[in-house]
Amino acid sequence: MQKMLLQVDRLSTFVGKACAWTVVGLTALITWEVFSRYVLNSPHAWVLDAQIMLYGTLFMSAGAYTLSKNGHVRGDVLYGFFEPRTQATIDLILYIVFFLPGIVALTWAGWSFAQESLAIREQTFNADPLPVYPFKFVIPIAGAVLLLQGVVEIVRCLICIRDGVWPAREEDVEEVDVDKLKEMVHVKDADIEEVDRLITAKQTGGRA
> Helices marked H in 46-137 — which ranges?
47-68, 76-79, 84-94, 100-119, 133-136
What pLDDT, on a 0 to 100 scale, did the predictor assign at position 197? 78
Residues in the chain: 208
What pLDDT, on a 0 to 100 scale, did the predictor assign at position 18? 92
In the predicted model, residues of the chain with pLDDT beneath 50 are 208
**Hey, how many other C-beta atoms are within 10 angstroms of the C-beta on 32?**
12
What pLDDT, on a 0 to 100 scale, did the predictor assign at position 208? 46
- Nearest alpha carbon to residue 133 among 150, 145, 118: 118
Compute the distance between CA of residue 108 and CA of residue 20 in angstroms, rounded to an integer.
24
User: pTM of the entire structure?
Assistant: 0.75
What pLDDT, on a 0 to 100 scale, did the predictor assign at position 193? 76
pLDDT digit string, tens, across residues 106-131 = 999 999 999 999 999 988 887 788 89
